[in-house]
Structure 1
Amino acid sequence: MNKTEKAKSIIIVIGLGTSGIAAAKYLKAIGNNVVLFEESESSLFQQLAKKLNAEGIKVKLGMPLQWSSFKSYLNQISKVVIGPGIPWDQSTLKKLRSKGITIQSEISIAWGSLKQIPWVGITGTNGKTTVTHMLHHVLSKNLIESEIGGNVGNAASELALTLKRNHTKKTKWLVIELSSYQIESAPEITPQIGIWTTLTPDHLERHGTIDNYYKIKRGLIENSSIRIYNADDKYLSNHREELPHGLWVSTREKKTESQSLSDLWISSNGKIIEKGKELFDSSILQLPGDHNLQNLLLVTAAAREIGLSSKEIADAIISFKGIPHRLEKTFELEGIEIFNDSKATNFDSSETALKATLGPLILIAGGRLKQGYTKSWMEQIEMKAYAIFLFGESRYKLKNIIESYNFQGEIYCYNDLKETVKKSIEIALSKNVKSILFSPACASFDLYKNFEERGDHFKILVKNFLEKHNS
């Protein structure tokens, strides 16, 4: 491409979200002409647009992902870059491809820049964020330079920009959480280590069937040089024979002898065993629930492959306190523990939190309903819940689901979280309840930008209530 052609060529980035902004900034930094399309024209986006325009990134507001937005640019577009929230087979993208225009994802842009650094690619329906943070913590505590990002923390292309600008930074590993949306749009990603935490029905409104969802996740693991699986996950375990060779971990075998179906497991006295050799006591982990022991084993397996000793791993794990919004104990009031589990955006994740929380409890759930199986979630509710408080877009749909199982406790429905929090704590104080668990089992997009904003609002509401109550 000559200079005149390059001057005419532009890359269009879709969306003023985290991924879109990161991709646009990185592409601009490496010499591209970038135009960013955003459908909304809100005051927030107007402010963002002003800042980006000052950096040489042209932002066009009021530009939905429709064919009409692209017509006047067709002779200039070299590629269109999308974030993970946009379906890979969206109709306008298909039409752009038919015109010979390349569609690329933000994570793919980042991979092109960062692939010279070994990746740990972490995927799964649940558990991947905790595993990502825990592994990064272990590496950092052992002075191994690593960065965390992808589907959590910084967008991967933001990491690419940071490392491009800081040539002295000697990053040894990238610990990258990867969602099914990201994997689907970047099949070229080949991690040094791939970790598969769990697989249960999720995002079926986009992927159609659990088989399609499984195949997308499997693609990342097949591309990985070293593969680590959770043998306690029913779906993964059932597909063990057909999955590529890798390391398997389990909390359920509870064996003391050297023979095990898994490469790492927990003995009957709580010791972590690696191929017959005792590493350290699992009780050093400060997080509740068997699911967190599974996470610990996955992290230990990866850290061992990276080259850390059992003592180095154990010394780091002792100080790991978990992550915000995932079964996060936020307050205690008159013996009642209050947990923020806003990251539970599906039934399976909420079920896991219910298992780990002391009952009888009050469950707060609601948001934008996803497809998924409710039977196991309801079994935990029936065992643990004194009452259920439902809020948001799906409150009445959830009420119908819960009533269909003949739940015997009280069910309360409220429009938003403010009234829900107030009433739930008042009921908890008047009854013999041990815990309040905010574990929505739904996406946050009915009322919030993301689960982090939802969880932060929950904590603010609880804090305000407690200040009034204690004054």
Structure 2
Amino acid sequence: MELKSKKVLVVGAGKSGLAVAHFIVKKGAVAVLADANNPAYPDDQLAELVAEGVELSLGGYPDVKKGSFDLVVMSPGVPLTVEPARAALDNGIPVTGELELAYHFTESPIVAITGTNGKTTTTALIGAIFQDAGISTLVGGNIGLPLVAEVEKYCSNDVIVAEVSSFQLETASSFKPKVGVILNITPDHLDRHGNMDNYIAAKSRIYANQEPGDYIVLNYDDPLTAELGAKSRGETIYFSRRKELENGVFVVEGKIVVKLGGKAEVICGIDDLSIPGAHNLENALAAVAATKVMGINNRSLAATLKNFKGVAHRLEFVAEINGVRYINDSKGTNPDASIKALEAYDEPIVLIAGGKNKGSDFSELAEKIKEKVRVLVVLGQSAELIAEAARARRFENILAAANFKEAVMLASQAARPGNIVLLSPACASWDMFKNFEERGELFRDIVLNIKSYREN
């Protein structure tokens, strides 16, 4: 991809957009960074970009017409329905994204992970496996670090491990990971994709360009994911926690087993894993499959699996206070993620849920609430939707909070020794917070300072 002297419009002035603007200016392009809003940034980031030669168009988009730009780069958080994207497509101007842009400047083999739930944990675990094996590894993408900011620092002997979202994959055209992983597919982001077929199509772009010699790792236990294997031109490796497979990664008698090429090898016991829950066992199986085909030996694999403690905001243990354990699962941003979180614990749960709905149905979550939850605390735009779904299942122990601090305090007051207070909102954070990280960090702060919060 030749960028020198090209005029490029970067749509969306978030973390990804800033990284892209900086990158393409270094490549000799003329960059225009546009955003419908006027974002505020710390540390004079915009001033630095302007000093590098980036033009700003904040608070509105510039006109896009034939000849005005050579390329439009969309940030993943901005839908392709916005005016500059539509106008570019109408006028024959190529539209791409940061993931595709980074791919064109990458020498290293890529292991890319997608799925509705578990992406961040699995990405971090795969990265740790490679790093513990002594391989120079970049871990980035949707996990927080834009790939385009770092890819050129890594060579063909290194590995790039990338979490990729459906939003990023929408604009991928030639992106081709050496190993692709699809963990699961359940309804999410339907407010953006419109329907499940479009959502599945976006996820499937992770392996659309793969060839013989590439690998796609799929969840055998998830029907929507498993059936994608028939469409792969690379080699399909299945993983399953429920069934012993002829070829793949699975569980037998409490052991994680790899069987590739007819030879079965035990990696470690499932009780050796440090991350809780059946869904994290699935994440571990996927990580074993993705790294085993890249040549990681069993001993190194087992050591990392035993030592990996998980990631922040995903079933993160915060504290135990007066016999109550507080768990931060702020990254549980859809009902299926929160169902998996509830299933990870046997103790009575006080659940904090609610936020911005992404087009989700809360009926299955309500069934699990009836089964696992002692007290439900709801808040945010989806509070009444979740409460109504729970009441429809004859669950009545529901408290409504006016704000996030009140929600945590109500949960704390309702909890008894031996209970778990679980923040797993089943919703996005955007009605109250910039992102799920900010939400999780506030939860952590309130819990760790709960005495002073009670007094105030």
Q: TM-score, normalised by structure 2?
A: 0.91
Question: Which 10-residue stretch deviates more, 373-382 or 105-114?
Answer: 373-382
Do the aligned partners of 1:144 and 1:172 also contact (CA within 8 Å) in 2? yes
**Distance apart, 1:346 and its partner CA:** 0.2
1:231 maps to a residue whose letter is Y
Cα gap change, 1:59 to 1:171, in 2 (>3 Å):
farther
Q: How is 1:109-188 mapped onto 2 (pairs within 5 angstroms)?
A: 109-114=101-106, 116-160=107-151, 163=152, 166=153, 172-188=158-174
Do the aligned partners of 2:113 and 2:163 also contact (CA within 8 Å) in 1? yes
1:337 maps to a residue whose letter is R
For 1:454, the equivalent position in structure 2 comes to 439
CA distance in 1, matches of 2:11, 2:208: 30
Deviation track 1:36-83 (CA, whole Å, cap 9, x = no partner) reads: 11232355489432232123222232224xxxx326x86542222111
Work out which of the residue numbers 67, 76, 86 in structure 2 matches 1:84: 76
For 2:339, the equivalent position in structure 1 comes to 351
For 2:94, the equivalent position in structure 1 comes to 102
Work out which of the residue numbers 204, 216, 219 in structure 2 matches 1:218: 204
Structure 1 vs Structure 2 CA RMSD: 2.5
Q: Taking every aligned residue pair, what percent have the same amino acid on both sides?
A: 31
Work out which of the residue numbers 283, 286, 293 in structure 2 matches 1:298: 286
Secondary structure of the equivalent of 1:70? coil
Deviation track 1:346-403 (CA, whole Å, cap 9, x = no partner) reads: 0000000000023311000111012234333222211111111111222122222222
For 2:399, the equivalent position in structure 1 comes to 412
Q: How is 1:134-283 mapped onto 2 (pairs within 5 angstroms)?
A: 134-160=125-151, 163=152, 166=153, 172-224=158-210, 225-237=214-226, 245-253=235-243, 260-274=245-259, 275-283=263-271
CA distance in 2, matches of 1:273, 1:101: 47
Bigger helix share: 1
Question: Which 10-residue stretch deviates more, 302-311 or 75-84?
Answer: 75-84
The answer for unaligned runs of 5 or more in structure 1 is 1-5
Number of residue pairs matched?
447
Cα gap change, 1:328 to 1:425, in 2 (>3 Å):
same
Secondary structure of the equivalent of 2:63? helix
CA distance in 2, matches of 1:455, 1:262: 39
CA distance in 2, matches of 1:104, 1:237: 28
Deviation track 1:125-183 (CA, whole Å, cap 9, x = no partner) reads: 111111110000010011111101111131121123xx3xx58x675111111111111
CA distance in 1, matches of 2:189, 2:418: 34
**Distance apart, 1:190 and its partner CA:** 0.8
Question: Which 10-residue stretch deviates more, 195-204 or 86-95?
Answer: 86-95
Cα gap change, 1:171 to 1:146, in 2 (>3 Å):
farther
CA distance in 2, matches of 1:89, 1:389: 35
Work out which of the residue numbers 50, 58, 63 in structure 1 matches 2:60: 63
**Distance apart, 1:236 and its partner CA:** 2.3
For 1:337, the equivalent position in structure 2 comes to 325
1:387 maps to a residue whose letter is V
The answer to whether structure 1 residue 425 and structure 2 residue 412 are counterparts is: yes
The answer to whether structure 1 residue 93 and structure 2 residue 93 are counterparts is: no
Do the aligned partners of 1:11 and 1:78 also contact (CA within 8 Å) in 2? yes
CA distance in 1, matches of 2:55, 2:344: 49
**Distance apart, 1:310 and its partner CA:** 0.7
Do the aligned partners of 2:240 and 2:249 also contact (CA within 8 Å) in 1? yes
Secondary structure of the equivalent of 1:246? strand
Work out which of the residue numbers 12, 23, 27 in structure 2 matches 1:26: 23
**Distance apart, 1:10 and its partner CA:** 2.4
Secondary structure of the equivalent of 2:327? strand
**Distance apart, 1:263 and its partner CA:** 1.5
CA distance in 2, matches of 1:41, 1:121: 32
Do the aligned partners of 1:390 and 1:399 also contact (CA within 8 Å) in 2? yes
Do the aligned partners of 2:113 and 2:123 also contact (CA within 8 Å) in 1? yes
Do the aligned partners of 2:95 and 2:171 also contact (CA within 8 Å) in 1? no
2:340 maps to a residue whose letter is T
Cα gap change, 1:82 to 1:171, in 2 (>3 Å):
farther
CA distance in 2, matches of 1:246, 1:84: 28
**Distance apart, 1:241 and its partner CA:** 5.1
Cα gap change, 1:269 to 1:40, in 2 (>3 Å):
closer
For 1:3, the equivalent position in structure 2 comes to none
Work out which of the residue numbers 311, 321, 326 in structure 1 matches 2:299: 311
For 1:17, the equivalent position in structure 2 comes to 14
The answer for unaligned runs of 5 or more in structure 2 is none
CA distance in 1, matches of 2:273, 2:301: 11
Question: Which 10-residue stretch deviates more, 208-217 or 73-82?
Answer: 73-82
CA distance in 1, matches of 2:418, 2:231: 46
CA distance in 1, matches of 2:227, 2:28: 49
Do the aligned partners of 2:256 and 2:285 also contact (CA within 8 Å) in 1? no
CA distance in 1, matches of 2:377, 2:76: 32
Do the aligned partners of 1:105 and 1:185 also contact (CA within 8 Å) in 2? yes
CA distance in 1, matches of 2:183, 2:17: 27
